[in-house]
Amino acid sequence: MNNNFSLLGRNLYDLDDFTEEEIINILEVSKVMKEINSREYKKLPTLKGKTICTLFVENSTRTRMSFELAANRLSADVVTFEATTSSLQKGESLQDTVTTLNAMGIDLYVIRHSCAGSPQIVNKHSGKPVMNAGDGRHAHPTQALLDMYSIYEKTGTIKGMKIAIVGDIVNSRVVRSNLIGMIKLGAEVTVCGPRTLVPSHLEEVYGCKVTYDLKTALKDADAVMGLRMQLERQTEGLFPSLEEYSKHYVLSKQTIKWAKKDALVMHPGPMNRGVEILPELADSSQSIILEQVSNGVAVRMALLFLILGGRF
């Protein structure tokens, strides 16, 4: 780990703002945070006096809870903005919400919102560092970092890894951030799904491979990630039925045999069990899905620590 490494005051909108070296350093600091998380006394005093606001205007379990836990572990104060019981319901704008919260002395915002670009709006009206916890279909950089950390921890590298990402690609912010990060670190990424759920420009924009055939995608893969079928973002009838999707693309004990033996099985969650992945595989010893969740706390601790200037 580079002890002089700092991301002091930086925003985390997506991984294209970060160099390969910066991403590796984030993964290395995450390793230290994971070790701290394994201790009986898990808390560091380093962010005492800092106040973090989690501003979730879209639903979340993993991201929000792990950010709050990460902030608590670093001894920061955390205020949780509850969108459903807030004055947003009375028509208050995001701008006025942010300037109001800012007047209370927030040091860093974590935002999830259905609109792409909302983290930039929060930064514009607060002047404080903002971490994107998922903005529309655009980006989910902390999920990508924890996904990369989960592979890095198991294999010691991302470089040269063959990674298959399967599912609802067009609606996925997770896939976009992962493509930027994984390819920057030298992985060979293949995305797969029905033609209607895979944007045509991905190869040119990101440098990944694209296939519509699951067996081709999984061939020789070191890690296979299923993506959730985002039913709430499906408005155009892009596939006939969930049964039809599952018939061709489900990850199961049978289909995972097309990947390398002991390939890592991943999913960002939440899962539609029986649609994109069968329980027999999701709950198997090959699956690292719950480790991804645990790693989410360590990775978010590392990011808060680095952005808010924590010290060991």
Which residues bind to ligand CP, rule: CB under 6 A? 60-63, 134, 143, 268-270
Cα separation of 72 and 238, whole Å?
42
Name the residue among 112, 76, 78 with its Cα closest to residue 94: 112
Question: Closer CB to ligand CP, residue 44 or residue 83?
Answer: 83
Question: Closer CB to ligand CP, residue 146 or residue 185?
Answer: 146
Q: Quickly count: other Cβ atoms within 10 Å of residue 16's Cβ.
A: 12
Instruction: Name the phi and psi angles at 251, rounded to 5.
Output: -90, 125
In angstroms, give the least distance from the CB of 64 to ligand CP.
Answer: 6
- Give the pairing of strands 188-192 and 162-166: parallel
Containing H/E element for 191?
strand 188-192
In angstroms, give the least distance from the CB of 73 to ligand CP.
Answer: 18
106: which 2 tokens?
A: 């927030």
Question: Closer CB to ligand CP, residue 46 or residue 146?
Answer: 146
Cα separation of 163 and 191, whole Å?
9
For the chain, the residue count is 312
Question: Closer CB to ligand CP, residue 64 or residue 128?
Answer: 64
Containing H/E element for 153?
helix 141-155
In angstroms, give the least distance from the CB of 66 to ligand CP.
Answer: 8
DSSP-assigned beta bridge partners for residue 52: 78, 108
Question: Exposed (0-12), middle (13-18) or buried (19+): which is 116, by Cβ within 10 Å?
Answer: middle
In angstroms, give the least distance from the CB of 60 to ligand CP.
Answer: 3
In angstroms, give the least distance from the CB of 232 to ligand CP.
Answer: 11
In angstroms, give the least distance from the CB of 236 to ligand CP.
Answer: 22
Cα separation of 100 and 120, whole Å?
17
Calculate the alpha carbon distances from 178 to 94, 141, 150, 185, 268 in Å.
28, 8, 12, 10, 11
In angstroms, give the least distance from the CB of 234 to ligand CP.
Answer: 17
Question: Closer CB to ligand CP, residue 127 or residue 270?
Answer: 270
Question: Closer CB to ligand CP, residue 72 or residue 211?
Answer: 72
Question: Closer CB to ligand CP, residue 10 or residue 62?
Answer: 62
